[in-house]
Chain A
């Protein structure tokens, strides 16, 4: 046999498995289409407050191609710790992978995926054309906003709220012409007594019970 070729039956003469996986590595019914659609997820991470940690986390998300919507970071009651709130849009396996990759980084102390019930707010500053100040003010009042600057040509307002409120307000301002906009990204805490992401025994494997709880939380 020339050129390193080897003996043996041809590919179509070999035993063949009947199953199939999808491209996320999940075994599926060969006839059924089973892919997880992307969904929005809110991750809250408690990290060591040290130089480079923001670069480390943002680098992690970009090099692993996680689709990131917003990332905010700020201090906590503990001077040594900072809290990051990250909104990503990924299929379910991607969200779990993002969470685990976050947990794996050394400065990351704990990560929790917050459910939709979480208290979440974003701050937005919008600069709109100022030709119709009364109408602009009416909308600002309607959305509990605050006028920060008003001149003959532009009006700048501040809004805070959850995603739906912000989206609705921006839709309403569209009619005047939005000149510029800046958004802070989401800050969020778990609702009620439930802690957000806390200093627990870190980096440990989840127990089955925890895995199940998270599965529920992920829905």
Chain B
């Protein structure tokens, strides 16, 4: 069942296997490694010659098929940048801040499915990357960070711009390397790439001391490979698959919960097929959003703290849950004691450590999401007899609509801005968001139909994600529209990224849903701290349309409901980055809401409900 040898599609092997079609090679490799499209690469055909450690690092990225890098220059990383000077294959985007470089690379990884690359120098450069690396780790986003380091003879002496980058990033990376041998730099960078890409994706880091990158070496990197001890699971145990299939087929109230792993594992099509074949309603977690189209009658929408009422009721009342590619985060489960308490859980995940970590799996299905869904499909003895349940689900959808009023004479409603934007844009539009109320409105009121179109900070909840992620997303998908919803608080954290968007002439729109507050904190203070609004409201904030203009972007100020569509269209039509400063109703709150650690079924729809909980 588990192959002991790795098989990757190497360009040079393809040449050797001239009698096989390349499609055959790809299928075979996919079958053995469980790799999905993001594992297939476009490296150079000929091995390059290198002269220094830095050139080996750059050659390794080229060999891996990297195309874009996001970074900020600095002393200890200069040899690597110098090697980039001659690279025809790699395009470097100079960011305004290293945090932005990491977020841009993270978004690039989400959209393309292959590792985004960020670079920074030692010390503050590396520590500024930390937030973005941690963010990628929480969301299993493929990311590789290359950091400069002081020369090895100074390491440990508290040299200028020295930080123990390996120590600092060890807990937040899938793996990291202190690359202290010029002959191994290329291999280290390649291995870091492969580890970020394969199995459960995640961030890796290579720390590159300056003397090592300057040192002479002629060791050109091979095609990147994971260590021979790293073997992600592919297929789940057949016995458990059969038992799980039987449980699903016999369920009276079945539910499919699609997590981010469905998208990471390119299993959206398999999941859609499975749900429709066996008439199983589907809920999607925040990272799983887009894996199942919300306009499908089987969609029960998004779930968790600010998920739909009907989705959360479906979770609480189902009797068998097929959960795919999820780690049962507390923002999804609420109080673990009340999470799907009647349900037998079949848990599909590529990471064995996620099985029974937070919620016990009755059927542990360890493997690649698409492969295991295929196994389950083969093993299903029939379709669940769940007519009453499907009717119940429809009733809930009618009872708990996501609804709002947008009277023309009242302040602008953020939900209306999101909905209008959704209506005028194509389905494959990429939507980025920062973190806070604006993010929740974007999530709730956009109708999601495609994977890899929802780009935000899920697990870490990083304010400031919106601007740099929009840059990374646009570079990753220049032919798709990109809109990034931001909040005023979130925007102020990384607004300097606008300079990059203008410099690179990126056609994207940032919509600041401006309520002159850190709105989510303000909402919690009103709900749980007796309305004591400590440090959540801004007595003064800058005019974001003018900030945009000062950066060289196009700025719009939006205050009236009847101007929403024309402003959006004007911003979309502008060729280059545009910022809409949307002055929204400052009293607007996000509902439904399951208070932290609460019971999903007891979600609050209004302030009275919150007080009763």
Q: Which of A1-18 contact B (CB under 8 A)?
A: 1-11, 14-18
Count chain B CB atoms within 10 A of each CB in A6, A19, A100 and give the residue with the most. Answer: A6
Complex contacts, B351 vs chain A, CB 8 Å: 104
Contact A52 B166 (CB under 8 A): yes
User: Number of A interface residues, CB 8 Å?
Assistant: 52
Stretch with Cβ within 8 A of A (4 or more), from B53-61, B354-362, B457-465:
B354-362
Complex contacts, B236 vs chain A, CB 8 Å: 205
Q: At the interface, yes or no: B404 with Cβ under 8 Å from chain A?
A: yes
Main secondary structure of the interface of A (DSSP, over half): loop
Residue of A7, A17, A27 touching B360 (CB-CB under 8 A): A27
Q: At the interface, yes or no: A206 with Cβ under 8 Å from chain B?
A: yes
Q: At the interface, yes or no: B195 with Cβ under 8 Å from chain A?
A: yes
Q: At the interface, yes or no: B574 with Cβ under 8 Å from chain A?
A: no
Residue of B339, B392, B590, B605 touching A25 (CB-CB under 8 A): B339
Complex contacts, A106 vs chain B, CB 8 Å: 174-175, 195, 227, 229-230
Q: At the interface, yes or no: A201 with Cβ under 8 Å from chain B?
A: yes
Contact A96 B356 (CB under 8 A): yes
Contact B353 A4 (CB under 8 A): no
Least CB separation from A26: chain B residue: B360
Contact B313 A103 (CB under 8 A): no
Contact A10 B352 (CB under 8 A): no
Q: How far is the CA of A105 from the CA of B352 in the complex (A)?
A: 12
Q: How far is the CA of A164 from the CA of B18 in the complex (A)?
A: 67
User: Number of B interface residues, CB 8 Å?
Assistant: 73
Complex contacts, A96 vs chain B, CB 8 Å: 356
Also in contact, A6 and B166, with CB within 8 A (given A1-B606, A21-B359): no
Q: How far is the CA of A17 from the CA of B253 in the complex (A)?
A: 12
Q: At the interface, yes or no: A20 with Cβ under 8 Å from chain B?
A: yes
Smallest beta-carbon distance A89→chain B, Å: 19
Residue of B4, B359, B366 touching A205 (CB-CB under 8 A): B366
Complex contacts, A20 vs chain B, CB 8 Å: 337-338, 341
**17 A-B pairs in the complex with CB atoms less than 8 angstroms apart:** A4-B588, A4-B590, A6-B400, A7-B403, A9-B399, A16-B316, A17-B316, A19-B341, A21-B359, A21-B360, A22-B337, A25-B358, A48-B229, A55-B167, A63-B171, A202-B229, A205-B366
The 10 closest A-B CB pairs, nearest first, are A19-B341, A205-B366, A5-B606, A205-B233, A100-B353, A25-B359, A8-B400, A19-B342, A11-B602, A6-B605
Interface residues, chain B, with chain A CB atoms under 8 Å away: 1-2, 4, 166-167, 170-171, 174-175, 178, 195, 227, 229-233, 236-237, 239-240, 309, 313, 316-317, 328, 336-343, 351-353, 355-360, 362, 364, 366-367, 392, 399-405, 415, 585, 587-592, 601-607, 609, 612-613
